[in-house]
Structure 1
Amino acid sequence: MILIGNGKVFTRDANNPYIEDGAVLIDGKVIKEVGKTADLKAKYKDAEYKDVKGRLVMPGFINAHQHYYSTYGRGLSLDGPPATMFSQILEGLWWRLDKQLTLEDVYYSALIPMLEEIKCGVTTAVDHHASPMAARGSLFKIAEAAKEMGLRRNLCYEVSDRDGLKIADDGIAENIEFAKYCNEEKDDMIKAMFGLHASMTISDETLKKCLKGADSVGVGFHVHAAEGIEDVADSLAKYHMRVIERWHKAGVLNKKSIAVHCIHITDAEMKMLKDSGVSVVHNPESNMGNAVGVAPVLKMMEKGIEVGLGTDGYTFDMTESYKVANILHKHEAQLPSVGWGEPPAMLFENNRKIAGKQLEGKIGILEEGAYADIIILDYKQFTPINENNINGHILFGVCGRNVDTTICNGRILMDERQLVGIDEEKIVARCKELSTAMWNRI
């Protein structure tokens, strides 16, 4: 057993939110007890003691939507005119990049951001993958990387008709095979959803196959919804209904599913989201970077829709997304009093609900019986800190690189900023070789 003590423990447990001079006892992969340092040291004398010297102790961060496949795009500048709309970004960059990925590329493009996530305290993430020319086996390669890194992951493959029927069928098969594997493993470290790209790239015929496939393995969907206005225009032209209405009528939206972005939606569509029980994931930095608009997050949350927070691959530091969510909605509303409560609810409450729907155990909370997904932050606060203002301290004073220790499922992945059992230099060197080769292919 490991006893983390002498810390400012923020549990995210409403019944016991903050323990000054607190301690957390880890027994295997779960938390055995949370309490005062003196009490737990006296009670568990044989436990290995880690003195955190007054640093912050919190649950690991959870990312509710991201894309590992985009890793090799960092710093990449391609030919062609500047994009003036979202579909041109997809066609000019991402749909050129993902076609070049091999299975080895998939593996290393997952390892690199996983290193960043460990350094930023992200212990759980929900990933949406695409590698059209290497679809089969791709989710298993990401799962292999996650197991090696010791991180908790939920994976899916984005089915799309944009590359033809065979590749769409490959994506469907990969989702089904991987979900079957996860069902058989019954391991809360690796779970599956059924990925769909977007309404504008999925025909009714392909959608029927996806619905049948997802039902056969008992998983929900992970789908981009009304991210760009092109998605809405396409749906109206082809199906005479808006995106959310199409997904809702087809049965894509349910309590197991995630609808990502939901920017260009109406009040009627918000009611469909609420009635279906689907979770929505907001990605503020990506939305701003792609200039697709601002999701009506405040209104959705007012209506009782469960909205979580992701990064869409724009960053792997959840504190960045948290900060931008706060200021974006103030700016959009031109009202400085809004956006204070919603981002903390998205990051610290709703993300654990979204990622935890398929899990047997609890994450995102420090309490007895929860998984030992714990981070320690070296943050020297110069004003009082407690359960009432911790969210403000994180907003204005903390970034991912304040994390100096990351623990997932009871395994120490980084200790005092040193990665444990991970050869970072070897991984980075091979990734640089592979990304250079891929850039040359493009």
Structure 2
Amino acid sequence: MSEMLILPQWLITSPKEAPKKDWGVRVVADQITDVASNSDLRKKYPSYPVWEAPGQVLAPGFVNTHTHLYGVLAHGIPLKKAPSGFWPFLEDFWWPLIEDRLDHAMINAATDYRCATMLKSGVTGFYDCTEGPYALPGCLFSQADIVRKWGLRGILSFEATQRVSEENAQLGLRENVEFTKACQAAADALLSGLICHHTTFTCSAEFIRQAYQIAQDLGVLLHAHVSEGTYEPEHALKTFGMRTVPYYDKLGVAGEGLLASQCVQIDADEVALMAERGVRMTHMPLSNCEVGGGIAPVPELVQAGVTVGLGSDGYVDDFFEIMRGAFLIHKAKHQDPGVMPANLVWYLATEGGARALGFEKVGRIETGWQADLQLIDADLPTPVQDHNLYDQLLLYRNAGDVKGVLVAGEVKVKNGQVLNADWDALHAKTREAADRLWEMAK
């Protein structure tokens, strides 16, 4: 059983509270068992091993609430013509050149690499959505072996869709069901599953209701991409006579069991409906820009009381960059520097994300909570103080400044190095998989 004291210069218990100077924690097994000043911890536990962290900040680990780990393989793929809009992005690029070409070996190579980079970026928990209709069956089970090797806290799912065929759609649901049941039967403390369908424009009402009922029966969330661009709400209005979120409400799906990612093109009535029904939302600030989807109304969602987390969407790996995106783009949109303050962004990246995914006692440094932690170098050119610490770290730190990471009390990063990471081998495997994908896509 691992046990230690971690004694930093600064401690972030929760971004809703002021940072504490010269405070640290006691970790026993997978839990935080004491939070106190460094001097008190030394006196109370004189025989405990000590992780000295001068000039560093101890904070909750980041929770990446929405990623596509295989997405790294698409970075730099040759294109004869760049997609011009959200629908062409899917129909001309993402579906035929990426998703439809994926196999187990490609998914595993990308997962291996991305698990290491997530740890390097201070991410301790994540939700991944695999989209690869011809990688069925068994892709989640194969991928899970890689995630377990790295010891991250994760949720894996397969995005079931009827865009290929009804048979393929049912295969996708079955993959989610079998994987979720296997995790539940094994009482896996770190790895779990959920049910996932794509969108209202690739899935019928009957299929969405089926997916939702399965999720309810298994006691897990149902995930869907919601109004990532203008295409889905326009399609919903034309086809169903209402926008996307009201349509989900009509189907009986819009509730606490729905995890809605993106939510870029939603209006004020949909924000209010999500808050009323308890729909959870995950925000991908940078990928929404990349695909030209727009800027999600996250300040409005937060103000309305919606549970919100941050995600990378498989686009940019460094979670500090994701936070900066959320911190900056909403200020520009609202023309108000007070929008999305740094401590709120930190909350969305930690406890908010954990709540969105349903992780219990994750995302805060408090006695009895999970020891999912990170240490960040705070050696900056201007003084770090309690009034500016959130801003300083958010604006001027990157993955390279993460010096330590623990997941469920197990050390994963030490002295800035991801333990057991052979970066040359990881790069080689990922490049080999990308080369094969790119060759197939020609």
Q: Would the TM-score normalized by the shorter structure come out above 0.5?
A: yes
- Whole-angstrom distance in 2 between the partners of 1:390 and 1:183: 40
| 1:164-243 pair list within 5 angstroms | 164-243=165-244
Cα shift at 1:60: 0.7
Q: d(CA) in 1 for partners of 2:148 and 2:213? A: 29
Partner Cα distance (2:163, 2:12) in 1: 46
Identity, in percent, stands at 27
1:67 deviates by 1.0
| Letter paired with 1:84 | S
SS of 2:159's partner is strand
CA separation in 2, counterparts of 1:430 and 1:296?
38
Cα deviation for residue 22 of structure 1 reads 2.3
Matched residue, 1:398: 397
Distance 1:426 1:339 in 2: 39
Query: What is the aligned counterpart of 2:11 among 9, 12, 23?
Result: 9
| Pairwise CA distance, 1:6 | 4.3
* Whole-angstrom distance in 2 between the partners of 1:252 and 1:394: 39
Pairing 1:302–2:303 present: yes
Distance in 1, matches of 2:227 and 2:185, equals 34
Tell me which amino acid in the other structure corresponds to 2:152.
Answer: L
How far residue 13 of structure 1 moved from its aligned partner, in angstroms, is 7.1
1:89 maps to which residue? Answer: 89
- Offset from partner CA, 1:208-263 (integer Å, 9 cap, x none): 33123223312121111111111112222222221111112213222132111212
**Residues 71 and 110, structure 1, Cα contact 8 Å, conserved in 2:** no
**Structure 2 Cα separation of the partners of residues 177 and 394 of structure 1:** 41
Correspondence for 1:137:
138
After TM superposition, give the deviation of residue 338 of structure 1 in Å: 2.3
Instruction: Tell whether the 8 Å contact from 1:70 to 1:94 is kept in structure 2 after alignment.
Output: no
Q: C-alpha distance in 2, partners of 1:248/1:201? A: 18
Unmatched tracts of structure 1, length 5 or more = none
1:236-275 mapped onto 2 (5 Å cutoff): 236-275=237-276
Corresponding position of 1:351:
353
What letter is aligned with 1:37?
N
Q: Which residue of 2 aligns with 1:438?
A: 437
Determine the structure 2 residue equivalent to 1:154: 155
CA contact (8 A) 1:5 1:22 kept: yes
Whole-Å Cα distance in 2 between the matches of residues 6 and 260 of structure 1? 35
TM-score, structure 2 as length reference: 0.93
Q: Does 1:62 align with 2:63?
A: yes
Counterpart amino acid of residue 8 in structure 1: W
SS in structure 2 of the partner of residue 52 of structure 1: strand
Distance 2:175 2:150 in 1: 22
Moved more, 246-255 or 149-158: 246-255
Contact 1:99 1:132 in 2 (8 A): yes
| More deviation, 252-261/143-152 | 252-261
Inter-partner Cα distance in structure 2 for 1:178 and 1:388: 45
Are 1:21 and 1:54, in contact at CA under 8 Å, matched by a contact in 2? Answer: no
Q: 1:248 to 1:387 in 2, by over 3 A?
A: farther
Q: Deviations over 1:364-391 (max 9, x none)?
A: 1112111111111122034443443222
Moved more, 375-384 or 192-201: 375-384
Contact 2:216 2:257 in 1 (8 A): no
Equivalent-residue separation in structure 2 for 1:261 and 1:278 (angstroms) = 13
Query: Does structure 2 conserve the Cα–Cα contact (< 8 Å) formed by 1:4 and 1:49?
Result: yes
Find the aligned partners of 2:211 and 2:109 in 1 and give their Cα distance.
Answer: 28
Aligned to 1:417: 416
Alpha carbons 1:374, 1:407 under 8 Å: kept = yes
Q: How many residues align?
A: 437
Task: Work out the CA distance in 2 between the residues paired with 1:218 and 1:305.
Answer: 21
Other structure's SS at 2:51 match? strand
Change (3 A) 1:7 1:247: same
Q: 5+ residue gaps in structure 2?
A: none
1:70-85 to structure 2, matched below 5 A, reads: 70-79=71-80, 81-85=81-85
The amino acid across from 2:92 in the alignment is G
Give per-residue Cα distances to partners, 1:69-111, cap 9 Å, x unaligned: 21210111222x3322101111222212111111122111111
Work out whether 1:110 is the aligned partner of 2:111: yes
Residue type of the alignment partner of 2:392: H
Q: Structure 1 residues 297, 213: closer, same or farther in 2, change over 3 A?
A: same
Q: Please say if residues 101 and 134 of structure 1, whose CA atoms lie closer than 8 Å, have aligned partners that are also in contact.
A: yes
CA offsets per residue over residues 3-59 of structure 1, 9 Å max, x none? 2124322221757x5332222222111112122222222322332222112311111
Q: Which amino acid aligns with 2:308?
A: V
SS at match of 1:272: helix
After superposition, residues 42-61 of structure 1 pair within 5 angstroms as 42-61=43-62
For residues 367 and 319 of structure 2, the distance between their equivalents in structure 1, rounded to whole angstroms, comes to 25
Stretch of structure 1 that moved more, 374-383 or 154-163: 374-383
Give the secondary structure class of the aligned counterpart of 1:89. helix
Deviations 1:402-442 (A, max 9, x none): 10111111111111122213333323222222221221111
Partner of 1:54: helix, strand, or coil? Answer: strand
RMSD: 1.9
Which whole-Å CA distance do the structure 1 matches of 2:94 and 2:388 have between them?
Answer: 40
Could you report, residue by residue, the CA deviation over 1:284-342 in whole angstroms, capped at 9, with x for unpaired residues?
A: 11111111112122222222222222121111222111111122112112233323264
With 18-27 and 165-174 compared, the bigger mean Cα shift is at 18-27
Distance 1:14 1:236 in 2: 39
CA contact (8 A) 2:259 2:282 kept: yes
